[in-house]
Structure 1
């Protein structure tokens, strides 16, 4: 059966050649597996690719890239399929689906792990925690390891061990001309630099090697929940505490609506609340002293901050972030002045759905000690990362919810330098994404793009255009 693409029609014989060349599978429209194969985590993106290549290994990735190039197809690369902006799918193009590539090898002696690009953080944490080791992972365990890392990687170990990309020591990647290259500090060092914060611009990453750190199996972590009426006081007191908190402690303020959780009074369900989330990556005794001030930022509704498994903290938010909802994220790096925090707390009172939230991620610590220019990720001096989320189970009215998020982001971003976190972007916001890189970093990224993807085959990302594209 032939398939219509955005560029024309692929004949049955042509697709048959691709099917014969891969060990995985090729899914076309009309196949029994097509509806499942085209679906992504974020239901805001309902695309119909011409083909989905479910890769079983690196050879399949090479064949898929060669096929896409030869047929002039739009390429989407999918790992965990969480891409908020919808970059892991497309209309009329080819999806290179890595989700079946889940190989992982932990070397506990060297404290290293090699992870294939189809792994989620829950799957990788499961393997590394068997040895009491971890690397900065996502806040939701179904997030894909690869895309998360290439854009930076903000998680509960950020202040103790930096971003996920700061712990990347090597990666294998299939380039636009179908070559497999290994990038690290010695081989393809400029590509390695670009992969740490430059996103999926340079090829299809098939495996990543990380440095691991002793973490867990038990940590001091959890939530302290305050009423929205005390939001201004809570966020200011949190802001004032942050400079004195130890690097082992990473915190996040979430301005949200109370779900029907069993540890919350029923009267609170459905009302706006302020959640202080924290994890201490160190000895529990020292952690108790470090988190003590977090328990008295206001009048707690509930305090469930205590010893728990690291894996428990890594999956704590999963029930609230299931697949199939409509999501729009946008972000801004800001300095937490009184005016910035006023903008945040005012926006909290206008959230359009109970699932819509505003997050304030504490930065600093190991995150801030990475030398300028060491990675493509460039916002090391920022005080806070603000993430504005519009989320709804339903499609009806979602465009308006996304407009709320954009307007909120603009109001808050005035209190920073205009830059954003490329992993927390709901659109292909090229101008804003590029503003996240200083000019010298942008220029360097373009040179890497010119070397590895001069025709911009990999353009479904926060795109760094090659010189030839203007």
Structure 2
């Protein structure tokens, strides 16, 4: 029994490069399971009988949705189709009482469960064969303290609703770009966005959070009460301490910003210098500047047709920052896909926003300092990109610009330990099972592991971002939480000593 459950079969096939290296020599069926760990290697666990499900349905104010419901697939489908596991039922919780009823029922019947708001967990930790506790009906944003600019976000709210509500209020927070991501997962794992260098990461703005604990009690963690629990929720990742039913955040007035999206399609040797110059020039930008640099590897088909690797940069700059001057000579070489030197804040976010759709992917991340990104290191990264086998979809490696206010806090000030870095590096491999055979997917995942290991070793990468969970990490406790893991275990022991909430990389009690 546990929350954010992932079947043992899915976890075991992602352990290390050894499994990847032998993938091509395995029988076709085994290769398919490796490429698509959503296909289970073991039988489904025991589930309660019909009468127990009737009892749960009667205990809920919201709906209990079964597999024969025409909308069941929409409610249960995760964003990463690698983990498209079918739950036995979906509880559409509309109140905290519904959450309490689900937890009580799961304990009574011994049923596994997971909790979901947006369903974008990269490693599938919001999937289960048992009961899926769907928080999405608990959506809403309310201004609760106008003087302090505090808003309360309900636990099932997705980013797009947060954006619309804050736009009406003329306020903002540090937020992401993807409309369908759940605000709960975003905040509990830290929460990166273009405002973080100015305001701090999303969880730095969290002032209170309401949770249903393993014993069924409803608590409100703040600096005045349960402050260690609030600390743990500021980067300790979802699914560890309870079910968060609301978050209270500090917000800030919006202004106008410059918004940009530019790219470089140049000769190979010039691209190395462009990437090096981007990383070093932008690292020194004022805190009001936020950017993401991407190196995109085209699909196999596009590369065969002559399409090359491109470098792109996107982001925003608050008032007083001259974007073309900041980029310097690189600006003249760039293709300006989008550039508004002065746009209303939320209009600019419409330009930067991204709508995601379900597909198959794997992401790996680590934190870097600019001083370690030498021209030789950048050239090596691009050489790795050249050697990627490729799939029917484009893939990329990216640099999210951190620093600024992110680094104003010390590693132990919140559970989010990753302070003192300039860039969050991530590598993504994307594919589609109808067009990419399992053996090709395995080639690409093996390539990705070699690339990631090389970056961590030669560019001195530290840790990994807990909101980009990677089931193949050997020491995820250190990588996600560093020196904070001991305190996180202590908080876990206090609020969930029997580990009701558990998953493949869940924090364990002492």
Whether these two folds match at TM > 0.5 is: yes
The CA RMSD measured in Å over matched residues stands at 2.3
Please list every run of 5 or more consecutive structure 1 residues that lacks an aligned counterpart in the other structure: 260-267
The answer to whether the 8 Å contact 1:430/1:462 transfers is: no
- Correspondence for 1:180: 218
Is it true that 1:376 corresponds to 2:420 in the alignment?
no
Q: Which runs of 4+ in 1 moved over 4 A?
A: none
| Displacement of 1:15 | 0.9
1:388-420 per-residue CA deviation (whole Å, 9 max, x = no partner) reads 111224453444433333322211111225410
| Displacement of 1:34 | 2.3
Question: Measured at CA, do residues 187 and 37 of structure 1 come closer, stay the same or move farther in structure 2, by a change above 3 Å?
Answer: same
- Correspondence for 1:344: 381
- Correspondence for 1:95: 132
The answer to whether the 8 Å contact 2:154/2:245 transfers is: yes
| Displacement of 1:176 | 1.2
Is it true that 1:462 corresponds to 2:496 in the alignment?
no
Please list every run of 5 or more consecutive structure 2 residues that lacks an aligned counterpart in the other structure: 1-42, 300-304
Is it true that 1:245 corresponds to 2:285 in the alignment?
yes
- Correspondence for 2:24: none
The answer to whether the 8 Å contact 2:179/2:356 transfers is: no
Supply the distance in 1 between the matched residues of 2:135 and 2:509 (Cα, whole angstroms): 25
Is it true that 1:325 corresponds to 2:368 in the alignment?
no
TM-score by length of 1: 0.89
Supply the distance in 1 between the matched residues of 2:151 and 2:291 (Cα, whole angstroms): 26
| Displacement of 1:438 | 2.5
Is it true that 1:234 corresponds to 2:274 in the alignment?
yes
- Correspondence for 1:145: 183
Supply the distance in 2 between the matched residues of 1:7 and 1:34 (Cα, whole angstroms): 20
1:363-387 per-residue CA deviation (whole Å, 9 max, x = no partner) reads 1100000133110111101221101
Supply the distance in 2 between the matched residues of 1:314 and 1:269 (Cα, whole angstroms): 33
Supply the distance in 2 between the matched residues of 1:437 and 1:34 (Cα, whole angstroms): 35
- Correspondence for 2:59: 21
- Correspondence for 1:265: none
| Displacement of 1:211 | 0.5
The correspondence for 1:402, drawn from 438, 442, 445, is 445
The answer to whether the 8 Å contact 2:178/2:356 transfers is: no
| Displacement of 1:258 | 7.2
| Displacement of 1:64 | 0.8
- Correspondence for 1:263: none
| Displacement of 1:119 | 1.2
| Displacement of 1:115 | 0.5
Is it true that 1:387 corresponds to 2:426 in the alignment?
yes
Question: Measured at CA, do residues 341 and 69 of structure 1 come closer, stay the same or move farther in structure 2, by a change above 3 Å?
Answer: farther
- Correspondence for 2:28: none
Supply the distance in 1 between the matched residues of 2:337 and 2:75 (Cα, whole angstroms): 41
- Residue pairs, 1:25-44, within 5 angstroms: 25-44=63-82
SS of 1:435's equivalent in the other structure is: helix
Supply the distance in 1 between the matched residues of 2:153 and 2:48 (Cα, whole angstroms): 34
| Displacement of 1:257 | 4.8
The correspondence for 1:436, drawn from 480, 483, 486, is 480
Is it true that 1:305 corresponds to 2:339 in the alignment?
yes
TM-score by length of 2: 0.82
- More helix per residue: 1 or 2? 2
Supply the distance in 2 between the matched residues of 1:101 and 1:82 (Cα, whole angstroms): 17
